[in-house]
Chains A and B, each alone.
Chain A
C-alpha cells in the first residue's frame, strides 16, 4: 500500500481547487464528475464548484436517482453512467477519409491529436476497467493507436470509494473500493466532526511532483486510520456480491440451462448494458460517402453483441435469438474473457444493473446458475 511515504498529504477543500487550477495551468483539459441531466457524469470541469458537492446517486436495479446529501461531500456518489471508455475509446471516431480520383483513391488518415486530459474522481473500478481495455487494445497482438494516443497522456486523480451504491460489487471482483495502481494521485475523502479533508497519495512521479505544488499538511496517523476505516466500511457495506469461483466453468457447462430462456423473456436486447459497461469494447465500422462519390469516410462506432447484425454472415446471423445474444454477453464477460485476457470482463461497477430498463441484475442471474445447475448438460441441440 502506498501510504506512509513522503508522497502522502492531507489536502483541504481549497487545495482541491488548486489541484484543478494547477492541472489547467499545465495545459490539461480537466474532466470530472458534474451534475447533469439528473445524474452525475464526467464533464469538462472549470472550477471546484462544478464538482457535485452535496450530491449522491441512489442506484438500484433499473433505477438511478440524484439525491442530496447533507455532509457536502464532493465525491459522495459511486459510478455514473459514463465511464472513461467514453474518452479513451470514444463512441464514434473517424478512422479514415478517402478521396477518389478517376478510379483510384487516396487514403487520408487525418486523426486530430486529442487534448491532454486530466480526470478527477476516477473510481478504483474505473481504473481496473481501463487496465482491462489496455489489455485488449494495447497489450494483445496489435495496438489500437487511437486508444493509445488518448490514453497515454491522461493524468488520473483517483478517488477511493467511500460511498458505494447499492448496485456495486467491486469487493467481489477485487477491483475496489481502493485504487491500488494506475493513478497519478489517489484521494480518500473524509467528512466527519466538522472536518472535510482529502488524504492524497501519489501513485506516479508526475503525481508526486504535482502534490508538491499544493498547500498541504502532513497527514496525521489518525487521518490515515479514518481513511482506512472508511474504505473497509465501504467494502463491508456492499449490498451485492458475486461468487467468482469457477464462474467460467459454470457458464460453459450450463450452455443449455433453462435460465437462459427466463433471461431472454425479460431482456429487451436494448444494448444499454454494453454501452454503459466500462470494459465492453466491441465496435463496428461504417462507411459514409458524399453524394458525388468523390470522398468517403470510415467511422468506428460502439457496437453491441445484443444486435442481430453483430454476428451476421452471409445467409443469416449466427446468434439470431435474444437468448443466444444474452448468453454471449454474460458468457463473454464472466467466462471467455478470462480465457482471452486472463481476467473477468467485469469490474463490479454495477452500471449494467442500474441502467437496465427492466432491472436485470448480473449478480442475481449468475447466482441462479449456481443454485440450479442444469440437470442435463447436453452438448447443444442439433444444428441444421
Chain B
C-alpha cells in the first residue's frame, strides 16, 4: 500500500485533498470524487474493499469505503449515504472545498486469490459501494475470472445505487446482475423481497465460487446461511464488517469484534474467522 506523498507526521493527521465532484446517486446517497490539492500531492493507490478516514472541517471524521475503479489513479471516489452529522456534511460539501483524507486502510477483497473462479457478489444497500471496485476489477480483467454474479438488494427502487451501471454490466458475457427491493411500489416490475430470495435465480458451483458480501449485519447472516446451504466453504465466503472507528490504525479500540480490530484485521474477513463471533449478541 503506498502512502500519501507529502506524508503527514503521524498516521492520525489527515491530508487535505480537493473535492472535485459531487454526484447525486439517490435521494440520500452521493458519490464524491477527491482529487489532488496541488501538483505535488499524489493520491494513493488502493485495493478494492479498503476504506479511508474522511475528515470534514469542524465536523468530524468517518470511515468510508473507496467505491471507485482501482485502475484509475489520481482520484479517490466514495459513495456516501447521508445518515447523520458527518455524512450529511460530506454530501453537502461543494466542489472546490477541502476534505481531509487518511488511508487507505484495511484488508481487501480476495481478487488475486479468486483467479479463474466464479465471483459471487452479494450486496445490501450502501454495501454495494465497497464492492463496486471489486466488480470493476473483475470486469476489467474479465478473462481472468469465471462467472460474475451480482445479487443486490435495496429498500426501494429509489434506493438502488448505480442503476445505469448495473444494467450495462448485464450485457457483459458471463455476467449476471440481479436486483431486488424490499418494497416495490406500483411502477416496479422487478423482484421484490430480501436479497436472499435472489438465490433461487442462480445455480452456483460451490467448489469454484468465491463470495464477497457487504450489507447490514443481519442481512449478511442470512446470506451466509444461504451460501453454506449451497455448499460454499467457510473460507470462500468473505464479509465486510462495520464497527465504530475513531482511528483506523489499531489505537482507539472502538472497532473491536472479539479478538479482532475491524480496522486493521478487517474490514473484510473470511466467514471462517468470524463464525465463532458473529452470532454472539452484543459482543
Interface residues of A (CB under 8 A from B): 95-96, 98, 100, 103-107, 109, 111, 136-137, 140-146, 255, 281-285, 287, 289, 293, 296, 298, 300, 303, 305, 310-314, 318-321, 323-324, 327-328, 332, 335-336, 339-340, 379-384
Q: Are A314 and B57 in contact (CB under 8 A)?
A: no
Question: Does any Cβ of A come within 8 Å of B168's Cβ?
Answer: no
Shortest CB distance A264–B (Å)? 11
In the assembled complex, 24 residue pairs joining A and B whose CB atoms fall closer than 8 Å, in A order, are A98-B57, A100-B58, A104-B16, A104-B18, A105-B57, A107-B8, A137-B251, A140-B264, A142-B249, A142-B250, A145-B9, A146-B12, A283-B247, A283-B251, A283-B252, A287-B58, A298-B55, A298-B61, A300-B12, A311-B243, A324-B282, A379-B280, A380-B279, A380-B280
> Which chain A residue has the least Cβ–Cβ distance from B8?
A109
Q: Are A104 and B251 in contact (CB under 8 A)?
A: no
Q: Of A137, A283, A313, A384, which is within 8 A of B242 by CB?
A: A313
Which stretch in B92-100, B173-181, B194-202, B205-213 binds the other chain?
B92-100
Taken together as a complex, chains A and B put the C-alpha atoms of A349 and B205 apart, in Å, by 56
B244: which A residues are within 8 A, CB to CB? 310-313, 318
Interface residues on chain B, number (Cβ under 8 Å): 47
The SS class assigned to the B binding surface is: loop
Which stretch in B39-47, B71-79, B138-146, B253-261 binds the other chain?
B253-261
Q: Are A103 and B98 in contact (CB under 8 A)?
A: yes
Q: A103-B96, A103-B97, A312-B244 given as contacts; is B254 within 8 A of A303 (CB)?
A: yes
**In the complex, chain B residues 226-277 whose Cβ is within 8 Å of any chain A Cβ:** 242-244, 246-247, 249-254, 256, 258-259, 261, 264
Taken together as a complex, chains A and B put the C-alpha atoms of A43 and B231 apart, in Å, by 63
A96: which B residues are within 8 A, CB to CB? 12-14
Q: Are A336 and B83 in contact (CB under 8 A)?
A: no
Taken together as a complex, chains A and B put the C-alpha atoms of A62 and B13 apart, in Å, by 40
A140: which B residues are within 8 A, CB to CB? 250, 264
Q: Are B280 and A289 in contact (CB under 8 A)?
A: no
Question: Does any Cβ of A come within 8 Å of B187's Cβ?
Answer: no
Question: Does any Cβ of A come within 8 Å of B11's Cβ?
Answer: yes
Shortest CB distance A311–B (Å)? 6
Shortest CB distance B39–A (Å)? 15
A107: which B residues are within 8 A, CB to CB? 8, 13-16, 100
Question: Does any Cβ of A come within 8 Å of B60's Cβ?
Answer: yes
Q: Are A109 and B13 in contact (CB under 8 A)?
A: yes
Q: Are A314 and B84 in contact (CB under 8 A)?
A: yes
> Which chain A residue has the least Cβ–Cβ distance from B264?
A141
Q: Are B58 and A336 in contact (CB under 8 A)?
A: no
Q: A105-B57, A107-B16, A285-B246 given as contacts; is B280 within 8 A of A143 (CB)?
A: no
A305: which B residues are within 8 A, CB to CB? 253
Q: Are A314 and B83 in contact (CB under 8 A)?
A: yes
Shortest CB distance A169–B (Å)? 24
Q: Are B96 and A379 in contact (CB under 8 A)?
A: no
A379: which B residues are within 8 A, CB to CB? 279-280
> Which chain A residue has the least Cβ–Cβ distance from B249?
A142
Q: Are A336 and B259 in contact (CB under 8 A)?
A: yes
Q: Are A321 and B282 in contact (CB under 8 A)?
A: yes
B15: which A residues are within 8 A, CB to CB? 107
A332: which B residues are within 8 A, CB to CB? 253, 256
Shortest CB distance B261–A (Å)? 7
- Mask of B85-97 contacts with A, CB within 8 angstroms, 1/0: 0000000001011
- Mask of B1-35 contacts with A, CB within 8 angstroms, 1/0: 00000001111111110100000000000000000
Shortest CB distance B234–A (Å)? 15
Q: Are A282 and B253 in contact (CB under 8 A)?
A: yes
Q: Are A146 and B10 in contact (CB under 8 A)?
A: yes
Shortest CB distance B84–A (Å)? 6
Q: Are B97 and A142 in contact (CB under 8 A)?
A: no
Q: Are A313 and B243 in contact (CB under 8 A)?
A: yes
B84: which A residues are within 8 A, CB to CB? 314
Shortest CB distance B40–A (Å)? 14
Q: Are A143 and B16 in contact (CB under 8 A)?
A: no
Taken together as a complex, chains A and B put the C-alpha atoms of A321 and B96 apart, in Å, by 44
Taken together as a complex, chains A and B put the C-alpha atoms of A222 and B142 apart, in Å, by 80
Shortest CB distance A262–B (Å)? 17
Taken together as a complex, chains A and B put the C-alpha atoms of A298 and B98 apart, in Å, by 16
> Which chain A residue has the least Cβ–Cβ distance from B85?
A287
Q: A145-B10, A380-B283 given as contacts; is B16 within 8 A of A105 (CB)?
A: yes
Shortest CB distance A325–B (Å)? 9
Q: Are B16 and A106 in contact (CB under 8 A)?
A: yes
Shortest CB distance A104–B (Å)? 4
B250: which A residues are within 8 A, CB to CB? 136, 140-142
Question: Does any Cβ of A come within 8 Å of B171's Cβ?
Answer: no
Given contacts A145-B10, A283-B247, A318-B244, 17 further A-B contacts (CB under 8 A): A95-B10, A100-B58, A105-B98, A107-B8, A140-B250, A142-B264, A144-B251, A145-B9, A146-B12, A282-B252, A282-B253, A283-B246, A298-B55, A303-B253, A318-B282, A328-B256, A336-B259
Question: Does any Cβ of A come within 8 Å of B218's Cβ?
Answer: yes
> Which chain A residue has the least Cβ–Cβ distance from B265?
A340
Q: A106-B16, A109-B9, A311-B244 given as contacts; is B218 within 8 A of A384 (CB)?
A: yes
Q: A318-B283, A320-B282 given as contacts; is B57 within 8 A of A136 (CB)?
A: no
> Which chain A residue has the least Cβ–Cβ distance from B216?
A315
Taken together as a complex, chains A and B put the C-alpha atoms of A379 and B14 apart, in Å, by 41
Shortest CB distance A369–B (Å)? 16
